[in-house]
Chain A
Amino acid sequence: MTLEDWSIFCKYNHHVRSLEMERHYDEIGPEIWGAIACPPFALPLLPNLTSLTWNTACGTFLCIRSFVTQGLTKLHINAYYREFKFSPSAQSTLSCIPMLCPSVSHFEFYGGVESGDASVALQCWSQLILARTGKISDAAILHLSKLPSLQELYLELPSTPISPNTQKLLQRPVFCALHLLDVECETLELLDAFFETLSIAPKTLSVNIAYGVAQVLPASISRISNACAHSALECFRIVVEDSGADPDPSISAAVLQPLYTFRNLRDLDFLVPFGVRFDDTTLLQMAKSWPLLEELGIRGEYKALSSNNINITTNALVSLLQHCPRLTIIAIAVDWSTVDRPDISPEIPYQGFAHKALSYANFSSSKIRHPIGVAAFISAIAPSMDTFSGWNDNWYFDHPDFEEYSSKWELAKDLVKAFSAVREQERRMQKTVGGDGGVEDDCMTGEADSPSSMFGEEE
Chain B
Amino acid sequence: MSVLELRWKIFQLVNLEFSRKKTLLALALTCKSFTGPALDLLWRKLDGLDPLIRCLPPTLWKLEKQKAGLKLVSQILAHIRECANLLSTGIPKGYDVGRLVYFLQI
Contacts and interface: CB of A to CB of B under 8 A. Distances in A.
Whether both chains belong to one complex is answered with yes
Contact of B45 (A17, A27, A39, A40): A17
B69 A18 contact: no
Interface residues of B, number: 42
Given A3-B91, A32-B61, A18 B46 contact: yes
A25 B48 CA distance: 7
Given A14-B105, A40-B87, A9 B52 contact: yes
Contact of B42 (A13, A15, A22): A15
Interface residues of A, number: 39
B79 A18 contact: no
B47 to A, nearest CB: 5
A417 to B, nearest CB: 32
B14 interface: no
A21 B50 CA distance: 10
Interface stretch (B4-12, B15-23, B70-78): B70-78
Contacts of A34: 77, 80
B72 A7 contact: no
A12 B43 contact: yes
A39 B87 CA distance: 9
Contact of A27 (B68, B82, B106): B68
Interface in B47-106: 47-50, 52-53, 55-57, 60-61, 64, 67-72, 76-77, 79-80, 82-84, 86-87, 91, 95, 99-100, 103-106
Nearest to A19: B46
Contacts of A11: 55, 103
B32 interface: no
A353 interface: no
Interface of B: 39-40, 42-50, 52-53, 55-57, 60-61, 64, 67-72, 76-77, 79-80, 82-84, 86-87, 91, 95, 99-100, 103-106
Would you list the 8 A-B pairs with minimal beta carbon distance, nearest first? A24-B48, A27-B69, A15-B43, A7-B103, A29-B71, A31-B72, A18-B45, A10-B104
